A and B are shown apart, each in its own frame.
Chain A
């Protein structure tokens, strides 16, 4: 291509510009790796039946089983959570504090973060997310943890 790429200075073989770009790419990657190694991964997402004996913080995904008792803003809401597609026997007791999304009710699929303590899954406040039952229904009910 005649005329293109002509510069008034002799073109250097190893352009400093290329080096800077390469360093920038490396910097971006470094940031990424640094973060993932320091902050660590997220929370494992498991079903209630897999909860036995695990005391680390996890995200529990399941179906609400009644009876539902208590006040999430005073002493906690008590209910059970069973596997999606599982039997009532797979249920674990959950005590939840914080904001409860509107769609919460018995039979609804929910996601809640917390840890197992003395056989009861104690939630992190405000971490409940409900899933909408119908096919194409976007609905957010997440309360971001403070």
Chain B
């Protein structure tokens, strides 16, 4: 069967190459049938990639170790779910997954937009195909998943640290995000090539960008949860280059989602938006280059492979060609509208963009600094956590506040009197919250206190928006408050979905501030019967248990937890010793307080033969708000993403008015 896989990938490569050449020719020469043929090729490429993916999946599921890839990433004993995750567990398979998503997105984006954006689509097809040519070339010639060998008796197996549910969701979600950013990129270049540099490409790709951004965000949050619960070193984000690789494009995509609103409403910032999309897409390629090439020291160490130079070449090519196209169309991109006032919603969005980009660039600098210093000084210098934390605070805190300010300022210009009215309640609530928290001792961390105060401002601002909007709809004649609310959401999905997403970011900020600025940590070596205190908790080490499972020996220290004079039950923490893989993993004990969102986090760092255990215990206030934020984020994104039939009809009707047939 590997022959079928190889053949299917070759077919894909042929199809996307054809789509690139024929698509460009058809668009340039204005040949309809050629353009349609190129479109078909792009769609067909998805199906042939699907066939190749099915071949790999089948080989994995039947443990066909004649496939080198299968032998390298799985074993007979591996549970089925993790065998499936091995698809994206290795270099070649993950590239195939990327290609599958890419061709899938391409086919879908082109098919779904053909009704009303036909003059764009003819140029989008060759751009998309161009990207697909690169990735299909990689899986055909450089890193093929279908290499074969003499089948060994058993495969090498999967690292125990990857055998958890997170491996099933985290990488695919991230890939949906990375690959999804190709859609706005392709439409952007397509629009420039078609000579239509106005807002249409933005409207066509709005939901795709939102989807990719949401996937990237949730994927990262899952990764953070994985680090927190499974890896268990006490934190959820280490500013590791591979983590940053996903954060950077997400920050730029966030900036883009905001600035497109300005372009849609005012026609401004066209060049800026084009550059943002280009930057987001380049960063997603750069990110995957970083994780695969082994160029920077990372805990997520991937072997140094030959794939790095290929990615670098492709990134350079993409950036070069894109900038050339932008420069060529620069005159058309200039917009006549200017920013009217530094106190306007447009300006607030601009400040937001500025801060997001500044944060992204600061992180990028931190990531490439070892490479640059090595090239310049001959020695790699690594920037530590304090560097990243500083910039997160200095740029992130104003960003937090801006989320609350944006809705309170009108478009174009806002007068001082109107600002005094709209700012009144949020400022009062924020100030009040700040004072109360100061009395409760939150002054121990200034950034933490500022984060809480700003969060109060934003929450009040958002709540008032919902309240005022509902009241306005009720005044317009809604039958009940509930109907008013749902019709408000129904008619303004983007705005209120956005507010819900902002609320989720507030939860995130509060959770991060609480768990990092106001946490406590305590360490102690305990024998059986001894106790230790952390914050308000007391832990008594009762016993050490040992259990055998199919592939590991589990050692657990049992602790009795109490707070004040209230007994809170038992908690266990310890280690797993995997027999076959000869590895030990940390199994932390976490007790989440339902009421306060606080976590008691216990690590049994060292277990001595005589039964004494060295414990490291954290109290992390409000940390569970971070995970709650993920759910709220999903809700907000879903509301904003929801299809709007009215809008669709309007777009199609416009095309019809101009005399263009709405279907092919």
Contact = CB atoms under 8 A, between A and B. Distances in A.
A139 B297 contact: no
A46 B379 contact: yes
A35 B366 CA distance: 13
A71 B585 CA distance: 18
- Main secondary structure on chain B at its contact with chain A? mixed
A141 B159 CA distance: 15
Q: Residue among A28, A43, A135 with the most chain B CB within 10 A?
A: A135
Interface string B316-353: 00000000000000000000111111101001001100
A89 interface: no
Interface string A119-136: 000000000011111111
Given A32-B358, A132-B300, A17 B162 contact: no
Contacts of A16: 341-342
A136 B238 contact: no
A42 to B, nearest CB: 4
A131 B339 CA distance: 50
B354 A25 contact: yes
A42 B161 contact: no
Contact of B234 (A71, A135, A143): A143
Interface residues of A, number: 55
Contact of B525 (A17, A18, A74, A144): A74
A137 B159 contact: yes
B303 interface: yes
B382 A43 contact: yes
A103 B583 contact: yes
B66 to A, nearest CB: 19
Contacts of B72: 135
A141 B299 contact: yes
Given A136-B90, A136-B94, A11 B342 contact: no
Interface in B122-155: none
Q: Residue among B370, B394, B606 with the most chain A CB within 10 A?
A: B606
Given A17-B342, A42-B382, A74-B525, A109 B606 contact: no
B606 A73 contact: yes
Contact of B614 (A32, A45, A73, A145): A73
Q: Residue among A16, A42, A100, A141 with the most chain B CB within 10 A?
A: A42
A39 B302 contact: no
B390 A39 contact: yes
B605 A144 contact: no
11 contacts: A1-B336, A17-B344, A20-B342, A21-B339, A24-B351, A44-B381, A59-B382, A73-B525, A73-B605, A102-B575, A138-B223
Interface of A: 1, 4-5, 7, 11, 15-18, 20-21, 24-25, 28, 31-32, 35, 39, 41-46, 59, 61, 71-74, 99-103, 109, 111, 129-146
